[in-house]
Structure 1
Amino acid sequence: MSSIDIFFIDYSNESRINRAIDSLAYLKHHIGKVTIFHYRKIHVSTPLTLNSRVIVMTDIGEQINQLVNSTSDYIMFMYSDEILTTEIYHSSLSYKEKKFIMTSQITVRNLSIKRPFIVSASLLKKYPLLSSKFVPFNEACFVAWLLNQNLQASSHYEGVRQLRKKIDTANMHKWKYLEKFTLKTKKIDTPISLSVMMSTYNMEKYIETALLSCLLQHEPFQHIYVIDDGSTDRTHDILAKWSTERDNITFLHKENGGKARALNSILPKINSDFILEVDGDDWLDPDAVTTLLNLLLSLPNDVSVLYGNLKIWKEVTPSLIKYKKSRIGKQIDSHTELFTYPHPLGPRIYRTDKLKGIGGFPVISFEDGRLYEDVSVLYNLLKTGRILYKDFSVYNVRQHDESITKKNQSKWNDFIVYLTTSPL
């Protein structure tokens, strides 16, 4: 058997790492290096026969990509308190494929996640892992890699189990998100077309996560429209890099004028039946397109907007985001109910011809049209038709200190007074 390097990722403590190392006994004559990725520097007592190192985990995708050139023929990934079971003794780990992928699956509370287990180094060199800046959590680098490259496993390994650990509510929601990369979805045969539009301003830290979530879908959007609203950071440069890589993305740039003006400049280019709005600091679940197309198939013709539930995540540090709560939507049938709704209302999927029919997003004099454009457009759409709530959850909201909504919460009451006393 060829040589194999072991990567231990995000284990709880030293004793569990040592227990996982002990479970590698069958492979001891084939192990090259043991690399332990942890959020802090720790000391692990490995056998003298093993060449081990500890790396403080930051951007796990980039860190592994940098190590691949100096690794053995194959890499084994062990995640978060996993150990090998005796099944390893009955498995043939002899492989000759240059594009070899063996997956493993872990199940927690009926949630199952499939991840790369053993991968040929040559394949990782050709198809690097995603950087952590492209996904909301480090753990998503691995499940997203399989979906992003549409890579098929050569085989599946059953002999991995996770040592018992406490899984709190926040982590369960992270697992639910990760599981969606694993689940197979049936392709929707429908004439309905769905695109996505995104306006972004100074979102260099988040824009690639938002954009990649639109691309990492089981079923693709018809088109992705992104406009940079005069950013003064690196957002424009980041988007320019992506503009040469995909043919189903349109990037635009304009002087800063607020989201309403930015989205209106996109609107004439949209020819899909429906358009989903995504903010540059949020992200979608990988089954978003499939879920929405299923709902849109039976959407009544008089409905201008479909909306659902929001999952709220709190950014604790730039590299750590935690689930906070789910905001379950409710049906709105009047302007009064719109004003008392715990905003934001979303995700918002607009019927394109209805949105164009009212002239797009109102650019009002209040704050020069730079605030609450989502409420203004819903206010107008309610005059001409219905907006409809359905119980679905595919949209993730990132709460952070730079959010424009958070900075302007005190202006909400003044906005309502303006909206109800000034014609739009």
Structure 2
Amino acid sequence: MLKDISVIIIFPLSQKVLQQMLVSLRKLQARISSVIVIQATNGTLNKNQVNDWLNDLCFITSKNNELAHTLDNIMDQTNNRYVLFLSHTHCLSASVNSEVLQLEQPKTVLSTGYLFRNHAIYLPLLVLSKYIKKIGGFTNIQPPFNEAFLPAWLANIDKSCQLTIGNLIDPSLETRNTTTSTKYMIAQKYQFKKENLTSPSLSVLISNYNMEKYVDIAVASCLLQNMPFDQILIIDDGSTDYSLKKLLQWDRNKQVKLFTKENEGKAKALNTLLPYVTSEFILELDADDWLDPNAVAMIKKHLLELPENSSLLYGNFRRWKQINDEVFFKGIKKGKEIHRPTELLTYSFPLGPRIYRTSTLKSTGGFLINDFENGRLYEDVSTLLQLIKHSKLNYSNFTIYNIREHQESNTKINRSKWSEYLNHIDL
């Protein structure tokens, strides 16, 4: 039988799990030409402790946020007809045999699904190599965690190209904890039906300063939406790291407009973007955070019910802790109604996500720049204090915004200055 399959195993959880994955592949030994195992840069997998039936087994390392680039490099060197993907803890189920793993035109992707704690997860299992190359590989697929990588990629593949057969993956080795469950709940959202609600219109603004580790994920989360933003406006506020270089890659996308300026702080950076906004509403996204795939659709549905005298819609935050290359779920911080400036100043966490009514924001002077720290800190609070004097801030119970807690966070670094800010402002 012709050896026509290259297998790519993505970030296996452990040596034991890798061994199980390889055992599940053995039934396809006659068709497998090579197996490539991608492990994290700090991985401890040992090639000498795996099955000896493999003639061509290769281990390569990749950072979590460079998986798309790593896979594109692998595809450049792949000549086999098919690529078979397994990731993290997934093994082939007992029902899989060589006859199942075939594709005939016009089908180019064999996908499969399984249930994880009532979340239906769909993944590409077998894909024609030439099709991956034809569509440009895995460019722009940068979800916030790699458990969502294959579901996010599949969600962008035309349904007419897919052959779906359920339960070809055995998920029994999947880790059962709140972080994994939350990740798969979000991964499932990539599969929601594409929608197109034209009104009200919504743009997203991102101001970046030295967030090279995370800004790709923020931008990708804006592009991997079930319903597109009307505008994606990004400004680099004089970064001194490599984040501008990364942003220039996204500027090639027709949905994205990138601006640059010298460093003067977030408020001035966002105000530089404001004249270019043509939408009715604006979502502010920090360069180290990210959005759920259904964020635009969810926000627009809530905006339809926003009272005319409200200048801002806000909801809940989903909080994550960054530890090395991984994010761990910490919980959901639910918002609450506020009506007075004093309630805003005693809010237990940043109010958001912040979706501004564009006309009101522009008429009140945009993002407020006060003389505390030259306008570089608490610009969100200053702006909200200005808005609440003239209009209402409206809370709705929805969760689509993910906050990343990490050591480089501006909020974390300057937490001690909050009391100084409170003494500085005039209510």
Q: TM > 0.5 between the two?
A: yes
2:238, 2:261 within 8 Å by CA — same for their partners in 1? yes
Shift of 1:188: 4.5
Q: Which letter maps to 2:370?
A: I
Match of 2:373 in 1: 367
Other structure's SS at 2:258 match = strand
Q: Which letter maps to 1:101?
A: V
Match of 1:135 in 2: 143
1:12, 1:80 within 8 Å by CA — same for their partners in 2? yes
Other structure's SS at 1:392 match = strand
1:68 paired residue among 75, 78, 82: 75
Match of 2:29 in 1: 28
Instruction: Please identify, of 218-227 and 67-76, the stretch whose mean Cα deviation from structure 2 is larger.
Output: 67-76
1:334 paired residue among 328, 333, 340: 340
1:2, 1:74 within 8 Å by CA — same for their partners in 2? no
Match of 1:172 in 2: 181
Other structure's SS at 1:64 match = helix
Deviations 1:276-325 (A, max 9, x none): 001111111110001011111111101110001111112111x2222222
1:116, 1:142 within 8 Å by CA — same for their partners in 2? yes
1:76, 1:118 within 8 Å by CA — same for their partners in 2? yes
Match of 2:309 in 1: 302
Q: Which letter maps to 1:313?
A: W
Q: Which letter maps to 1:353?
A: S
Match of 2:10 in 1: 9
Q: Which letter maps to 1:168?
A: N
1:99, 1:122 within 8 Å by CA — same for their partners in 2? no
Aligned mates of 1:146, 1:308 — CA distance in 2: 29
Shift of 1:85: 2.6
Alpha-carbon distance change, 253 to 56 in structure 1, aligned in 2, over 3 angstroms:
closer
Alpha-carbon distance change, 152 to 47 in structure 1, aligned in 2, over 3 angstroms:
farther
Q: Which letter maps to 1:41?
A: L
1:113 paired residue among 109, 116, 121: 121
Alpha-carbon distance change, 85 to 251 in structure 1, aligned in 2, over 3 angstroms:
closer
Other structure's SS at 1:406 match = helix
Percent identity reads 36
Alpha-carbon distance change, 8 to 365 in structure 1, aligned in 2, over 3 angstroms:
same
Deviations 1:106-154 (A, max 9, x none): 321101221111011112223212477x332223332222234556542
Shift of 1:54: 2.9
Q: When the two structures are superposed, what TM-score results if normalisation uses the length of structure 2?
A: 0.91
1:217, 1:288 within 8 Å by CA — same for their partners in 2? yes
Aligned mates of 1:241, 1:161 — CA distance in 2: 37
Q: Which letter maps to 1:95?
A: L
Aligned mates of 2:425, 2:322 — CA distance in 1: 32
2:90, 2:173 within 8 Å by CA — same for their partners in 1? no
2:203, 2:229 within 8 Å by CA — same for their partners in 1? yes
Aligned mates of 1:410, 1:253 — CA distance in 2: 30
Match of 2:258 in 1: 251
Match of 1:269 in 2: 276
Q: Which letter maps to 1:53?
A: C
Aligned mates of 2:182, 2:114 — CA distance in 1: 15
Shift of 1:98: 8.0
1:129, 1:142 within 8 Å by CA — same for their partners in 2? no
Other structure's SS at 1:23 match = helix
1:144, 1:181 within 8 Å by CA — same for their partners in 2? yes
1:45 paired residue among 42, 50, 54: 50
Alpha-carbon distance change, 295 to 91 in structure 1, aligned in 2, over 3 angstroms:
farther
Q: When the two structures are superposed, what TM-score results if normalisation uses the length of structure 1?
A: 0.92
Shift of 1:192: 1.1
Other structure's SS at 2:302 match = helix
Alpha-carbon distance change, 139 to 129 in structure 1, aligned in 2, over 3 angstroms:
farther
Aligned mates of 1:314, 1:29 — CA distance in 2: 44
Aligned residue pair count: 417
1:102, 1:119 within 8 Å by CA — same for their partners in 2? yes
Shift of 1:195: 0.6
Q: Report whether the alignment pairs 1:350 with 2:361.
A: no
1:146, 1:152 within 8 Å by CA — same for their partners in 2? no
Other structure's SS at 1:308 match = strand
Match of 1:217 in 2: 225
1:98, 1:123 within 8 Å by CA — same for their partners in 2? no
Instruction: Please identify, of 303-312 and 259-268, the stretch whose mean Cα deviation from structure 2 is larger.
Output: 259-268
Q: Which letter maps to 2:81?
A: D
Match of 2:238 in 1: 230
Q: Report whether the alignment pairs 1:198 with 2:203.
A: no
Alpha-carbon distance change, 111 to 359 in structure 1, aligned in 2, over 3 angstroms:
same
Shift of 1:266: 1.3
Other structure's SS at 1:263 match = helix
2:288, 2:404 within 8 Å by CA — same for their partners in 1? yes
1:219, 1:287 within 8 Å by CA — same for their partners in 2? yes
Aligned mates of 1:165, 1:271 — CA distance in 2: 45
Shift of 1:404: 1.1
